[in-house]
Protein backbone atom coordinates (compact mmCIF):
# COMPACT_ATOMS: atom_id res chain seq x y z
CA UNK A 1 0.00 0.00 0.00
CA UNK A 2 1.39 3.36 -0.95
CA UNK A 3 1.09 5.92 1.82
CA UNK A 4 0.50 9.46 0.60
CA UNK A 5 -1.36 10.95 3.58
CA UNK A 6 -0.80 10.37 7.27
CA UNK A 7 -3.12 11.71 9.95
CA UNK A 8 -2.05 11.80 13.59
CA UNK A 9 -4.71 12.28 16.26
CA UNK A 10 -3.17 14.07 19.26
CA UNK A 11 -0.85 17.09 18.95
CA UNK A 12 0.89 16.68 22.30
CA UNK A 13 4.44 15.87 23.42
CA UNK A 14 4.44 12.72 21.27
CA UNK A 15 2.19 13.56 18.30
CA UNK A 16 3.83 16.95 17.57
CA UNK A 17 7.53 15.98 17.57
CA UNK A 18 7.13 12.47 16.04
CA UNK A 19 5.04 13.73 13.13
CA UNK A 20 7.35 16.70 12.57
CA UNK A 21 10.26 14.26 12.18
CA UNK A 22 8.30 11.88 9.90
CA UNK A 23 7.35 14.86 7.72
CA UNK A 24 10.95 16.11 7.63
CA UNK A 25 12.33 12.70 6.65
CA UNK A 26 9.52 11.77 4.23
CA UNK A 27 8.92 14.83 2.02
CA UNK A 28 6.82 12.63 -0.31
CA UNK A 29 4.15 12.11 2.39
CA UNK A 30 1.67 14.70 3.66
CA UNK A 31 1.48 14.55 7.45
CA UNK A 32 -1.39 16.27 9.27
CA UNK A 33 -1.66 16.43 13.04
CA UNK A 34 -5.16 17.02 14.42
CA UNK A 35 -6.32 17.65 17.96
CA UNK A 36 -9.59 18.20 19.80
CA UNK A 37 -8.01 21.26 21.46
CA UNK A 38 -8.13 24.17 18.97
CA UNK A 39 -5.79 26.30 21.11
CA UNK A 40 -3.07 23.70 20.71
CA UNK A 41 -3.49 23.61 16.94
CA UNK A 42 -3.34 27.40 16.82
CA UNK A 43 -0.11 27.34 18.81
CA UNK A 44 1.44 24.69 16.52
CA UNK A 45 0.61 27.00 13.60
CA UNK A 46 1.92 30.04 15.46
CA UNK A 47 5.38 31.53 16.11
CA UNK A 48 8.24 29.02 16.26
CA UNK A 49 9.43 30.31 19.62
CA UNK A 50 6.03 29.63 21.22
CA UNK A 51 5.17 26.10 20.06
CA UNK A 52 3.12 24.16 22.65
CA UNK A 53 6.02 21.78 23.24
CA UNK A 54 9.53 22.95 24.08
CA UNK A 55 12.18 20.55 22.81
CA UNK A 56 15.72 21.41 21.71
CA UNK A 57 15.81 21.25 17.89
CA UNK A 58 12.03 20.99 17.44
CA UNK A 59 11.44 24.50 16.09
CA UNK A 60 14.08 23.97 13.36
CA UNK A 61 12.34 20.76 12.23
CA UNK A 62 8.92 22.44 12.25
CA UNK A 63 10.35 25.42 10.38
CA UNK A 64 11.59 23.20 7.54
CA UNK A 65 8.49 21.01 7.17
CA UNK A 66 5.50 23.14 8.22
CA UNK A 67 3.43 24.27 5.26
CA UNK A 68 5.46 21.97 2.94
CA UNK A 69 4.19 18.54 4.00
CA UNK A 70 3.53 19.07 7.71
CA UNK A 71 0.18 20.53 8.74
CA UNK A 72 -1.66 21.12 12.00
CA UNK A 73 -5.44 21.16 11.70
CA UNK A 74 -8.68 21.19 13.66
CA UNK A 75 -10.41 19.22 10.91
CA UNK A 76 -10.42 15.72 12.43
CA UNK A 77 -13.09 14.36 10.08
CA UNK A 78 -11.53 15.55 6.81
CA UNK A 79 -8.07 14.34 7.72
CA UNK A 80 -9.22 10.90 8.87
CA UNK A 81 -11.11 10.55 5.59
CA UNK A 82 -8.08 11.50 3.50
CA UNK A 83 -5.39 9.44 5.25
CA UNK A 84 -4.36 5.89 4.43
CA UNK A 85 -2.50 5.66 7.76
CA UNK A 86 -3.71 7.05 11.10
CA UNK A 87 -1.61 7.35 14.26
CA UNK A 88 -3.37 7.59 17.62
CA UNK A 89 -1.15 9.65 19.95
CA UNK A 90 -3.68 10.72 22.55
CA UNK A 91 -3.18 10.77 26.31
CA UNK A 92 -3.72 7.61 28.38
CA UNK A 93 -3.67 8.83 32.00
CA UNK A 94 -4.38 6.76 35.09
CA UNK A 95 -8.12 6.27 35.68
CA UNK A 96 -9.48 8.47 38.44
CA UNK A 97 -12.85 6.81 38.83
CA UNK A 98 -14.64 3.52 38.18
CA UNK A 99 -13.14 0.05 38.07
CA UNK A 100 -9.35 0.18 38.37
CA UNK A 101 -9.32 3.83 39.56
CA UNK A 102 -5.82 4.90 40.62
CA UNK A 103 -4.21 2.03 38.71
CA UNK A 104 -5.59 1.15 35.28
CA UNK A 105 -5.09 3.28 32.17
CA UNK A 106 -8.01 5.50 31.24
CA UNK A 107 -8.75 4.49 27.67
CA UNK A 108 -11.58 6.93 27.01
CA UNK A 109 -9.49 9.14 24.69
CA UNK A 110 -8.22 6.20 22.66
CA UNK A 111 -11.77 4.82 22.44
CA UNK A 112 -13.13 8.14 21.26
CA UNK A 113 -10.39 8.26 18.60
CA UNK A 114 -11.34 4.78 17.43
CA UNK A 115 -15.00 5.82 17.21
CA UNK A 116 -14.07 8.88 15.12
CA UNK A 117 -11.95 6.75 12.81
CA UNK A 118 -14.81 4.27 12.32
CA UNK A 119 -17.34 7.06 11.78
CA UNK A 120 -15.39 9.14 9.27
CA UNK A 121 -13.53 6.47 7.27
CA UNK A 122 -14.69 5.79 3.73
CA UNK A 123 -11.79 3.56 2.70
CA UNK A 124 -9.46 0.94 4.26
CA UNK A 125 -6.99 2.29 6.83
CA UNK A 126 -3.94 1.28 8.78
CA UNK A 127 -4.57 2.39 12.37
CA UNK A 128 -1.52 2.72 14.60
CA UNK A 129 -1.32 2.71 18.39
CA UNK A 130 1.32 5.33 19.19
CA UNK A 131 -0.02 5.97 22.69
CA UNK A 132 1.20 3.70 25.48
CA UNK A 133 -1.52 1.12 26.09
CA UNK A 134 -2.23 -1.96 28.18
CA UNK A 135 -1.40 -5.22 26.48
CA UNK A 136 -4.32 -6.47 24.32
CA UNK A 137 -5.83 -3.01 23.76
CA UNK A 138 -5.64 -3.61 20.00
CA UNK A 139 -8.39 -6.19 20.48
CA UNK A 140 -10.68 -3.55 22.02
CA UNK A 141 -9.86 -1.04 19.28
CA UNK A 142 -10.63 -3.61 16.62
CA UNK A 143 -14.03 -4.27 18.22
CA UNK A 144 -14.88 -0.55 18.24
CA UNK A 145 -13.74 -0.09 14.65
CA UNK A 146 -15.64 -3.11 13.37
CA UNK A 147 -18.83 -2.32 15.31
CA UNK A 148 -19.07 1.19 13.93
CA UNK A 149 -17.77 0.88 10.38
CA UNK A 150 -19.47 -0.15 7.14
CA UNK A 151 -17.42 -3.05 5.92
CA UNK A 152 -14.19 -1.06 5.77
CA UNK A 153 -11.02 -3.01 6.56
CA UNK A 154 -8.87 -1.69 9.42
CA UNK A 155 -5.45 -3.11 10.14
CA UNK A 156 -4.20 -2.29 13.65
CA UNK A 157 -0.51 -1.95 14.42
CA UNK A 158 1.28 -1.19 17.66
CA UNK A 159 4.17 1.26 17.29
CA UNK A 160 4.99 2.54 20.78
CA UNK A 161 7.11 5.63 21.20
CA UNK A 162 10.35 5.55 23.20
CA UNK A 163 11.44 9.21 22.99
CA UNK A 164 12.35 10.97 26.22
CA UNK A 165 11.40 14.59 26.75
CA UNK A 166 14.25 17.05 26.50
CA UNK A 167 16.00 14.85 23.92
CA UNK A 168 12.96 14.00 21.76
CA UNK A 169 14.35 15.18 18.42
CA UNK A 170 17.70 13.51 18.90
CA UNK A 171 15.91 10.31 20.04
CA UNK A 172 13.66 10.37 16.98
CA UNK A 173 16.57 10.96 14.59
CA UNK A 174 18.63 8.13 16.08
CA UNK A 175 16.22 5.74 17.76
CA UNK A 176 17.80 2.75 19.55
CA UNK A 177 15.00 0.77 17.96
CA UNK A 178 11.65 1.27 16.27
CA UNK A 179 9.16 -1.34 17.39
CA UNK A 180 6.27 -2.40 15.17
CA UNK A 181 3.78 -5.03 16.25
CA UNK A 182 1.37 -6.44 13.68
CA UNK A 183 -0.95 -9.32 12.95
CA UNK A 184 0.57 -12.39 11.35
CA UNK A 185 -2.06 -12.45 8.58
CA UNK A 186 -1.17 -11.39 5.03
CA UNK A 187 -2.92 -8.02 5.40
CA UNK A 188 -1.27 -7.53 8.81
CA UNK A 189 2.17 -8.11 7.34
CA UNK A 190 1.41 -5.73 4.43
CA UNK A 191 0.53 -3.02 6.94
CA UNK A 192 3.72 -3.72 8.93
CA UNK A 193 5.74 -3.33 5.72
CA UNK A 194 4.06 -0.01 4.92
CA UNK A 195 5.14 1.36 8.32
CA UNK A 196 8.64 -0.17 8.11
CA UNK A 197 9.06 1.59 4.74
CA UNK A 198 8.30 4.95 6.35
CA UNK A 199 10.85 4.58 9.14
CA UNK A 200 13.40 3.10 6.72
CA UNK A 201 13.71 6.59 5.22
CA UNK A 202 16.10 7.42 8.08
CA UNK A 203 16.38 4.47 10.49
CA UNK A 204 18.59 1.52 9.48
CA UNK A 205 16.68 -1.70 8.88
CA UNK A 206 18.42 -3.66 11.67
CA UNK A 207 17.00 -1.19 14.20
CA UNK A 208 13.43 -1.75 13.04
CA UNK A 209 12.06 -4.61 15.07
CA UNK A 210 8.82 -6.31 14.06
CA UNK A 211 6.89 -8.48 16.53
CA UNK A 212 3.37 -9.60 17.25
CA UNK A 213 0.99 -6.90 18.55
CA UNK A 214 0.94 -8.09 22.17
CA UNK A 215 4.74 -8.20 22.51
CA UNK A 216 4.94 -4.67 21.15
CA UNK A 217 2.28 -3.30 23.51
CA UNK A 218 3.84 -5.01 26.52
CA UNK A 219 7.44 -4.13 25.59
CA UNK A 220 6.60 -0.44 25.96
CA UNK A 221 5.22 -0.83 29.49
CA UNK A 222 8.10 -3.14 30.40
CA UNK A 223 10.75 -0.72 29.07
CA UNK A 224 9.42 2.14 31.17
CA UNK A 225 9.11 -0.12 34.21
CA UNK A 226 12.71 -1.27 33.88
CA UNK A 227 14.04 2.28 33.44
CA UNK A 228 12.12 3.48 36.49
CA UNK A 229 13.23 0.41 38.43
CA UNK A 230 16.88 1.42 37.97
CA UNK A 231 16.16 4.87 39.39
CA UNK A 232 14.29 3.43 42.39
CA UNK A 233 17.11 0.94 42.94
CA UNK A 234 19.75 3.65 43.07
CA UNK A 235 17.50 5.95 45.13
CA UNK A 236 16.92 3.20 47.69
CA UNK A 237 20.68 2.77 47.98
CA UNK A 238 21.12 6.54 48.43
CA UNK A 239 19.34 6.18 51.79
CA UNK A 240 21.74 3.42 52.80
CA UNK A 241 24.74 5.53 51.70
CA UNK A 242 23.64 8.31 54.04
CA UNK A 243 23.69 5.86 56.96
CA UNK A 244 27.01 4.21 56.15
CA UNK A 245 29.37 6.87 54.80
CA UNK A 246 29.31 5.48 51.26
CA UNK A 247 28.77 8.03 48.46
CA UNK A 248 25.97 7.31 45.97
CA UNK A 249 27.79 8.87 42.99
CA UNK A 250 30.82 6.70 43.67
CA UNK A 251 28.51 3.72 44.03
CA UNK A 252 26.73 4.49 40.71
CA UNK A 253 30.04 4.77 38.94
CA UNK A 254 31.36 1.53 40.38
CA UNK A 255 28.16 -0.34 39.54
CA UNK A 256 27.73 1.21 36.09
CA UNK A 257 31.25 0.32 34.96
CA UNK A 258 30.15 -3.30 34.86
CA UNK A 259 29.28 -3.64 31.19
CA UNK A 260 26.45 -6.01 32.05
CA UNK A 261 24.79 -3.23 34.08
CA UNK A 262 25.86 -0.08 32.21
CA UNK A 263 26.03 3.51 33.51
CA UNK A 264 22.70 5.01 32.39
CA UNK A 265 19.70 5.72 34.62
CA UNK A 266 21.75 5.34 37.80
CA UNK A 267 21.65 8.99 38.84
CA UNK A 268 20.17 9.39 42.33
CA UNK A 269 17.54 12.10 42.52
CA UNK A 270 14.64 13.49 44.49
CA UNK A 271 12.53 10.94 42.60
CA UNK A 272 11.49 10.37 39.03
CA UNK A 273 8.68 12.47 37.61
CA UNK A 274 7.06 12.86 34.21
CA UNK A 275 3.71 11.86 32.85
CA UNK A 276 4.58 8.25 32.14
CA UNK A 277 6.74 6.20 34.52
CA UNK A 278 4.23 6.20 37.37
CA UNK A 279 1.13 5.74 35.23
CA UNK A 280 2.71 2.99 33.13
CA UNK A 281 3.94 1.03 36.15
CA UNK A 282 0.54 1.35 37.85
CA UNK A 283 -0.98 0.06 34.65
CA UNK A 284 1.45 -2.88 34.64
CA UNK A 285 0.63 -3.60 38.29
CA UNK A 286 -3.08 -3.54 37.45
CA UNK A 287 -2.59 -5.92 34.52
CA UNK A 288 -0.60 -8.36 36.67
CA UNK A 289 -3.35 -8.32 39.31
CA UNK A 290 -5.97 -8.81 36.62
CA UNK A 291 -4.19 -11.98 35.51
CA UNK A 292 -3.85 -13.16 39.13
CA UNK A 293 -0.09 -12.52 39.28
CA UNK A 294 -0.06 -10.87 42.71
CA UNK A 295 3.65 -11.41 43.44
CA UNK A 296 4.61 -9.89 40.09
CA UNK A 297 2.29 -6.95 40.74
CA UNK A 298 3.82 -6.36 44.16
CA UNK A 299 7.35 -6.52 42.74
CA UNK A 300 6.67 -3.67 40.30
CA UNK A 301 4.61 -1.69 42.78
CA UNK A 302 7.71 -1.36 44.96
CA UNK A 303 9.28 0.83 42.25
CA UNK A 304 6.57 3.44 42.87
CA UNK A 305 6.68 3.00 46.63
CA UNK A 306 10.42 3.71 46.73
CA UNK A 307 9.89 6.76 44.53
CA UNK A 308 7.31 8.11 47.01
CA UNK A 309 9.67 7.24 49.88
CA UNK A 310 12.51 9.20 48.24
CA UNK A 311 10.39 12.33 47.62
CA UNK A 312 9.17 12.21 51.21
CA UNK A 313 12.66 11.61 52.62
CA UNK A 314 13.84 14.75 50.82
CA UNK A 315 11.01 16.87 52.23
CA UNK A 316 11.61 15.57 55.75
CA UNK A 317 15.32 16.54 55.50
CA UNK A 318 14.28 20.13 54.76
CA UNK A 319 11.71 20.23 57.54
CA UNK A 320 14.23 18.73 60.02
CA UNK A 321 16.75 21.39 58.93
CA UNK A 322 14.43 24.04 60.40
CA UNK A 323 14.31 22.10 63.65
CA UNK A 324 10.54 21.89 63.31
CA UNK A 325 10.18 25.69 63.16
CA UNK A 326 9.45 26.08 59.47
CA UNK A 327 6.39 28.38 59.89
CA UNK A 328 6.74 31.47 57.69
CA UNK A 329 10.30 30.58 56.64
CA UNK A 330 11.22 31.38 53.03
CA UNK A 331 12.44 28.54 50.84
CA UNK A 332 13.69 28.88 47.26
CA UNK A 333 12.29 26.25 44.91
CA UNK A 334 14.64 25.97 41.95
CA UNK A 335 13.10 24.06 39.08
CA UNK A 336 9.54 22.95 38.39
CA UNK A 337 9.95 20.85 35.19
CA UNK A 338 10.28 17.10 35.85
CA UNK A 339 13.69 17.16 34.17
CA UNK A 340 15.86 19.72 32.37
CA UNK A 341 15.21 20.89 28.79
CA UNK A 342 11.46 20.49 28.82
CA UNK A 343 8.54 22.74 29.76
CA UNK A 344 6.61 19.69 30.99
CA UNK A 345 5.91 19.51 34.72
CA UNK A 346 3.48 16.59 34.78
CA UNK A 347 4.27 14.32 37.73
CA UNK A 348 7.25 16.47 38.72
CA UNK A 349 8.74 15.85 42.17
CA UNK A 350 8.62 19.66 42.62
CA UNK A 351 4.83 19.51 42.94
CA UNK A 352 4.99 17.03 45.80
CA UNK A 353 7.93 18.68 47.59
CA UNK A 354 6.43 22.18 47.33
CA UNK A 355 3.03 21.06 48.52
CA UNK A 356 4.46 19.31 51.58
CA UNK A 357 6.52 22.40 52.46
CA UNK A 358 3.45 24.61 52.08
CA UNK A 359 1.47 22.22 54.27
CA UNK A 360 4.18 22.55 56.92
CA UNK A 361 3.83 26.37 56.83
CA UNK A 362 6.76 27.46 54.64
CA UNK A 363 6.69 30.36 52.18
CA UNK A 364 7.99 29.47 48.71
CA UNK A 365 9.85 31.52 46.12
CA UNK A 366 9.57 29.51 42.94
CA UNK A 367 11.60 29.77 39.76
CA UNK A 368 11.78 27.65 36.62
CA UNK A 369 13.22 28.89 33.30
CA UNK A 370 10.58 27.13 31.15
CA UNK A 371 7.47 26.50 33.26
CA UNK A 372 5.35 29.60 33.81
CA UNK A 373 3.38 30.76 36.84
CA UNK A 374 -0.03 29.72 35.49
CA UNK A 375 1.14 26.15 34.89
CA UNK A 376 2.71 25.93 38.36
CA UNK A 377 -0.47 27.20 39.99
CA UNK A 378 -2.51 24.74 37.93
CA UNK A 379 -0.31 21.79 39.00
CA UNK A 380 -0.87 22.70 42.66
CA UNK A 381 -4.60 23.36 42.20
CA UNK A 382 -5.04 19.90 40.64
CA UNK A 383 -3.28 18.31 43.60
CA UNK A 384 -5.28 20.31 46.14
CA UNK A 385 -8.50 19.34 44.43
CA UNK A 386 -7.56 15.66 44.64
CA UNK A 387 -6.78 16.10 48.33
CA UNK A 388 -10.13 17.83 48.91
CA UNK A 389 -8.54 20.76 50.80
CA UNK A 390 -10.84 23.43 52.21
CA UNK A 391 -11.16 26.74 50.38
CA UNK A 392 -9.52 28.48 53.32
CA UNK A 393 -6.51 26.16 53.27
CA UNK A 394 -6.13 26.60 49.50
CA UNK A 395 -6.18 30.38 49.97
CA UNK A 396 -3.56 30.10 52.72
CA UNK A 397 -1.25 27.97 50.55
CA UNK A 398 -1.76 30.23 47.53
CA UNK A 399 -0.81 33.27 49.61
CA UNK A 400 2.46 31.56 50.57
CA UNK A 401 3.71 31.24 46.98
CA UNK A 402 5.78 33.87 45.18
CA UNK A 403 7.20 33.71 41.69
CA UNK A 404 10.47 35.25 40.57
CA UNK A 405 12.06 35.67 37.17
CA UNK A 406 15.52 34.30 37.89
CA UNK A 407 17.15 32.00 40.36
CA UNK A 408 19.24 34.72 41.99
CA UNK A 409 16.05 36.54 43.04
CA UNK A 410 14.73 33.28 44.51
CA UNK A 411 17.77 33.05 46.75
CA UNK A 412 17.33 36.52 48.29
CA UNK A 413 16.04 36.16 51.85
CA UNK A 414 15.60 32.36 51.56
CA UNK A 415 16.76 30.26 54.48
CA UNK A 416 16.77 27.08 52.43
CA UNK A 417 17.18 26.28 48.75
CA UNK A 418 15.68 23.16 47.17
CA UNK A 419 17.23 22.26 43.80
CA UNK A 420 14.63 20.14 42.06
CA UNK A 421 15.47 20.31 38.33
CA UNK A 422 18.97 19.99 36.91
CA UNK A 423 18.83 23.12 34.70
CA UNK A 424 22.21 24.18 33.33
CA UNK A 425 21.93 27.67 34.87
CA UNK A 426 21.65 26.10 38.34
CA UNK A 427 24.70 23.96 37.70
CA UNK A 428 26.77 27.01 36.75
CA UNK A 429 25.88 29.11 39.81
CA UNK A 430 28.73 29.80 42.29
CA UNK A 431 27.03 28.00 45.16
CA UNK A 432 29.96 28.47 47.55
CA UNK A 433 29.22 32.21 47.56
CA UNK A 434 25.65 32.09 48.90
CA UNK A 435 24.85 33.39 52.39
CA UNK A 436 26.13 31.26 55.23
CA UNK A 437 22.68 31.10 56.77
CA UNK A 438 20.94 29.39 53.84
CA UNK A 439 21.09 25.63 53.58
CA UNK A 440 21.03 24.01 50.15
CA UNK A 441 19.12 20.79 49.53
CA UNK A 442 20.45 19.39 46.30
CA UNK A 443 17.83 16.99 44.93
CA UNK A 444 19.68 16.66 41.63
CA UNK A 445 23.25 16.30 42.81
CA UNK A 446 24.53 19.17 40.71
CA UNK A 447 26.86 20.67 43.36
CA UNK A 448 30.20 19.09 44.17
CA UNK A 449 30.69 18.86 47.93
CA UNK A 450 33.94 20.44 49.14
CA UNK A 451 35.45 21.71 52.37
CA UNK A 452 33.89 25.18 51.84
CA UNK A 453 30.34 23.99 51.44
CA UNK A 454 30.21 20.73 53.38
CA UNK A 455 28.06 22.18 56.20
CA UNK A 456 25.80 24.15 53.88
CA UNK A 457 24.69 21.31 51.62
CA UNK A 458 22.47 18.31 51.94
CA UNK A 459 23.30 16.17 48.94
CA UNK A 460 21.26 13.00 48.47
CA UNK A 461 23.15 9.81 49.17
CA UNK A 462 26.23 11.29 50.83
Catalytic residues: 276
CB of 155 to ligand UGA, least distance (A): 24
Angle between helices 248-256 and 213-244 (to 10 degrees): 140
Pattern 121-160, ligand UGA, x by CB under 6 A = -----------x----------------------------
Task: Name which of residues 253 to 272 contact ligand UGA (CB under 6 A).
Answer: 265-267, 269, 272
CB of 87 to ligand UGA, least distance (A): 15
By CB under 6 A, residue 274 contacts ligand UGA: yes
User: Residue 369's CB: how many other CB atoms inside 10 A?
Assistant: 20
Pattern 207-236, ligand UGA, x by CB under 6 A = -----------------x--x---x-----
Nearer to ligand NAD, 91 or 238 (CB): 91
Residue 273 binds which entry of ligand NAD, ligand UGA, none, with Cβ cut-offs from 5 to 8 Å by kind? ligand UGA
Taken in order 198, 56, 132, 210, the sign of the CA dihedral is positive
SS (H, E, C) 354-374: HHHHHHCCCEEEEECCCCCHH
Pattern 277-296, ligand UGA, x by CB under 6 A = x-------------------
Query: In the complex, which residues of this chain contact ligand NAD (CB under 6 A)?
Result: 9-15, 35-37, 40, 89-92, 109, 112-113, 131-132, 161, 163, 165, 275-276
Taking a C-beta distance cutoff of 8 angstroms, is the pair 235, 271 a contact?
Answer: yes
Cα distances from 447 to residues 166, 419, 441, 443, 453, in angstroms, run: 21, 10, 10, 10, 9
Select the residue interacting with ligand UGA from 1, 43, 152, 164 (CB under 6 A): 164
Angle (CA) 191 193 198, round 5°:
100
Query: How many chain residues bind ligand UGA (CB under 6 A)?
Result: 20
Nearer to ligand UGA, 188 or 347 (CB): 347
Nearer to ligand NAD, 90 or 315 (CB): 90
Nearest residue (beta carbon) to ligand NAD: 12
In 192-282, which ranges are E strands? 208-211
d(CA 18, CA 70) in angstroms, rounded, equals 11
Residue 368 binds which entry of ligand NAD, ligand UGA, none, with Cβ cut-offs from 5 to 8 Å by kind? none
What is the number of H-type helices and E-type strands within the chain?
A: 17, 14
Residue 224 binds which entry of ligand UGA, ligand NAD, none, with Cβ cut-offs from 5 to 8 Å by kind? ligand UGA
Residue from 100, 105, 81, 92 nearest 32 by CA:
81
Cα distances from 331 to residues 54, 96, 339, in angstroms, run: 27, 32, 20
What are residue 85's DSSP bridge partners?
A: 6, 126
Nearer to ligand UGA, 256 or 361 (CB): 256
User: Residue 331's CB: how many other CB atoms inside 10 A?
Assistant: 28
CB of 343 to ligand UGA, least distance (A): 12
Interface residue list for ligand UGA (CB under 6 A): 132, 161-165, 224, 227, 231, 265-267, 269, 272-274, 276-277, 338-339
Amino acid sequence: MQIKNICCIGAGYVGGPTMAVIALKCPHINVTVVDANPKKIKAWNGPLDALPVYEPGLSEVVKQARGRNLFFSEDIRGNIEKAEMIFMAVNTPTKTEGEGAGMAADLRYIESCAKDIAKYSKSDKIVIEKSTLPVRTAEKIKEILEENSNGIHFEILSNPEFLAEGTAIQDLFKSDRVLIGGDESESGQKAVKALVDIYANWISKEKILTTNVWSSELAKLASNAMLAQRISSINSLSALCEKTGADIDELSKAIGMDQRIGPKFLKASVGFGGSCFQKDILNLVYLCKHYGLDEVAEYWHQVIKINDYQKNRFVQKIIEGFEKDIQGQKIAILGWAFKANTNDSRGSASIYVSNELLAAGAVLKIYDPMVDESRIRMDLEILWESQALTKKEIERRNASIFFVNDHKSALIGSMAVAILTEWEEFKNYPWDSISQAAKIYDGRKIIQKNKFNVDKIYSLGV
